[in-house]
Each structure stands twice: as C-alpha cells, then as structure tokens.
Amino acid sequence: MMVLEKNKNRPEIEYPTDWHYKIIGDNVDEMLNTINEISELYNSELTPSSISKKGNYVSLNLTVLVENEIIRNEIYTRLVSNPSVKIVF
C-alpha cells in the first residue's frame, strides 16, 4: 500500500503574514462593499490596479494581515462569493 504525503508540494506559509489578493470584477461599487466588510475585520490595504481596455473590468489589489490559513481562506471565500467579482488570485 502506498501512502501519499499530505500537501507534499504545498509551500509552507508562516503566519501571521501579509497576503496579497488580486481581485478582478465588473462592478467596482459592489466589489468595494465586500472589501470594506473585510477591512472592518482585518488590518488591510487596498490599492487600484488597472481597468480593462473597454472599461468593463477593474482590478484591485488587497493586502490583508492574516493570522492563519483559516482566515486567509475565509477572506478568499468572501471575495469570490460576490457576484461582481469574477477572478481572485
């Protein structure tokens, strides 16, 4: 029987750490509503990134001081649950 090591190729992250989210969406006001909710709970910084050529999409950079993986994943889940957010990486 072969036993696979859990998370063998996964990088080790030391917490707390600043985690950077790139958020792309089509309604900046709706995106900001979700980001503001996150900012009320966690130490964060938001900076603009770019607007698509046709102006249909905007990208924002959100940096959050995360204490652990659970919080990091919770923030990601909050971001992607917003219908105006199309991509988070």
Pairing mode of beta strands 44-51, 58-66: antiparallel
Q: Return the domain boundaries, the chain.
A: 17-88
Q: What is the pLDDT of residue 35?
A: 97
What CATH architecture applies to the domain 17-88? 2-Layer Sandwich (3.30)
Banded model confidence at residue 7, pLDDT cuts 50, 70, 90: low
How confident is the model at residue 11, as a pLDDT? 83
pLDDT score for 2? 40
pLDDT at residue 74 greater than cutoff 50:
yes
What is the per-residue DSSP string for 28-77? HHHHHHHHHHHHHHS-EEEEEEEE-TTSS-EEEEEEEEESSHHHHHHHHH
| Average pLDDT for the chain | 92
pLDDT tens-digit map of 47-69: 999 999 999 999 999 999 999 99
pLDDT band at 6 (very low <50, low <70, confident <90, very high): low
